[in-house]
Amino acid sequence: MSTPRLEFRNVTKRFRSSKGAEPITAVSELSFTLADGEVVSLIGPSGCGKSTLLNMGSGLDPATEGQVFVDGQEVVSPNEHVAFMLQKDLLLPWRTIRENVEFGLEIRGRSGRERKETAYELLKKCRLGDFIEHYPHQLSGGMRQRAALARTLAVDPAVLLLDEPFSALDAQTKMVLQQDLGRTLADTGKTALFVTHDLVEAIALSDRVLVMSQRPGRIVEVIDIDIPDRGNPMERRKSPKLGPYVAQLMDLLHIGETIE
């Protein structure tokens, strides 16, 4: 087997909440890999360390123990192979949408022309072609999040780390953006690790779903999603196979058990 795109090898993360207090173990001895072009979702109860894993992957918060590899290279600090996207769009209000998309390229010292071309192309793909020179406050939440996706893709990362990127959007906007993301990931063949609370979202968008336990987070189950056409989450939502997957995830996460 070839080198995985992204690998977490026995990672453990401990936090010290305050001085002298016992450190909290967020995730414990966790291992998994993502092959090239794979889209994998992480779901689990709140505080199980899903976001912690993404932070480790981005190189911003190294693991306490264990290692993270991208293409076989250990991630010890932020690097150009990985880009992340959060629930917050983090668009800079003083920059136009185009300038926001160029942000990462600008930091990496790319020429103005190259940045502009990339931004135009991506914004058109993200259906923001008419809003290129608008400011973020002039756009709706869904459009802003699409711009954030364009900004993430602009640096052409090997791996995308997505931390609940659509959780602040209304249900319909969310479906549209999931479709955008699903199609984009399929078209570009990017590898993505996707953190979400939305079970249907996880199933509709991914090849595999990793289910995590309560803190300290461990992977309790890996579910391969056997629904065709990952690039089309809308169609996948309509699939009759979706219901059983949701039921399985609900069982695994013990959803509803506390309500008697």
Binding site for other proteins (CB under 8 A): 58-60, 78-80, 82-84, 86, 88, 90, 92-95, 103-104, 106-108, 135, 137, 155
Which CB atom, from 53 or from 175, has the smaller least distance to other proteins?
53
Residue 10 CB, shortest distance to other proteins, in Å, is 24
Residue 119 CB, shortest distance to other proteins, in Å, is 15
Residue 137 CB, shortest distance to other proteins, in Å, is 4
**Where do we find the tokens 């207090």?**
21
Residue 224 CB, shortest distance to other proteins, in Å, is 30
Return d(Cα 122, Cα 98) in angstroms, integer.
Answer: 10
Residue 157 CB, shortest distance to other proteins, in Å, is 10
Which CB atom, from 71 or from 235, has the smaller least distance to other proteins?
71
Which CB atom, from 60 or from 222, has the smaller least distance to other proteins?
60
Q: How does 202-216 read in b/e, with b if 16+ C-beta sit within 10 Å?
A: bbbbbbbbbbbbebb
Residue 120 CB, shortest distance to other proteins, in Å, is 20
Which CB atom, from 83 or from 200, has the smaller least distance to other proteins?
83
Which CB atom, from 8 or from 84, has the smaller least distance to other proteins?
84
Which CB atom, from 27 or from 148, has the smaller least distance to other proteins?
148
